[in-house]
Structure 1
Amino acid sequence: MKSHTGIYALLTLVFLSSTCFAQNAPAKETWSPELHVSVYDYAKVSPELLAAAEMQVHRIFRQAGVETVWRNCSENIQPAGCHVIGSTYFVLKILPRAMGAEVRDRADVLGTATLDEKGLGYYGYVFYDRIQRMSEERRLASTLLGHVFAHEIGHLVLRSNSHSISGIMSGRWAGEELRTISEGAMFFMPHESKVLRDRLLSVALKPARPFVVETPVGIGNGK
């Protein structure tokens, strides 16, 4: 049985405690583990905007002590690694709009990640129409898109559909959170950063063979 986890945004201002802004200190590892993400852009985001969003994710994960390797894939362009999923290889699909019944009627859902009953999952989805609308309203440009990317990838690596009370893995992004995002000051919490590093480092030390999947021709269920 699969569970679906999403990020929600409140358009009304919500005042949260000051603990919402406790941020992660730079990682101390001299060697940072790598995280591989294959991106399928079904929403036809401009290359410049997509590159800027990916740089946001790179910055957020580097703050947690993790390096990101991006592959922009499509039905016609398949860089090496696009077909691979595994403990350090994930797929992110940018959908034009929410399609799954669980999120289609929830206008505040910006994205989701699919996990099984053991917390394992390799696919994240973001809903570009909603992100674009909020980005225009809040003048966040590529920043919001990058943070939604990071949130959904975070669920996959952390292997959890739960949310934190603050930071990039918080479940509701209201006025204060969106302001923090605009300032480039939202990161993983320290304990989350440690889990990310430990999990990816353990895979690097005892690598499991990633596996190859068929090219995802369709856009998926988008739940």
Structure 2
Amino acid sequence: MWVLSLGVLFCGVPVAELSCFGVSGNMGYLSSQRLTDYTYINDTTATVDVCALLCVVEPLCKSFNYHVLSGACERNTETGVTKPTNLQSVANWVNTESVQIPKSLAGVCENHMCQPDEQCRPLGGVATCIKVNRCYTLVDGRARYAGTRSTTSMGYTCQRWDDHTTHSHVGNGDDSAFFPDDDSVEAAANYCRSPTSDGVKDLWCYTTDPHKRWEACDVPQC
């Protein structure tokens, strides 16, 4: 267990459009540890401090992994306590549970409650819940998701829904009600969706790999 001392200003973080924070305190984290299979979002941040800030303002975040060389910030829906077999020894990664992050790091968002698919942001100095669409809801037993995840559970890049170049899918029973993008296939781009009325209820997409027609997407439920 390492202890990171926090005492920096968080200014100009484009990934979250956050205001500046002056924080202090200690955060414990596990070095050379990475929780796998429960990441719902992966951003690139300047420091581990910013990664911690993003986790603490997202109700969905139970822990995060941070790669000290690339700045990759993976936020997880589980922790190494709840899913210990998924906590792997990997060089250059650190892992921290959200309960280990000083709540004061969130500033005005410290005690502000948001929904699982929202993030608290200090807009104009006021704690404001912003919908970020990082989880799906169930509608009539089917996954409805308006987020921008565009890779499958095994890392394949999704094919655009209005593209039939790599994999043709004309006449597959597309249901526009499950393209929650102004009911537009074009606006759905290559995001994970559940658009067919053929019994497949989970999130998935066609892939850009000619040898892999489609695959499910690993997006958590709200």
> Would you tell me which structure has more helix in proportion to its own residues?
1
> Would you tell me which structure has more strand in proportion to its own residues?
2
TM score, norm. by length of structure 2: 0.23
Structure of higher RCO (CA pairs closer than 8 Å, 6+ residues apart): 1
Larger-gyration structure (1/2): 2
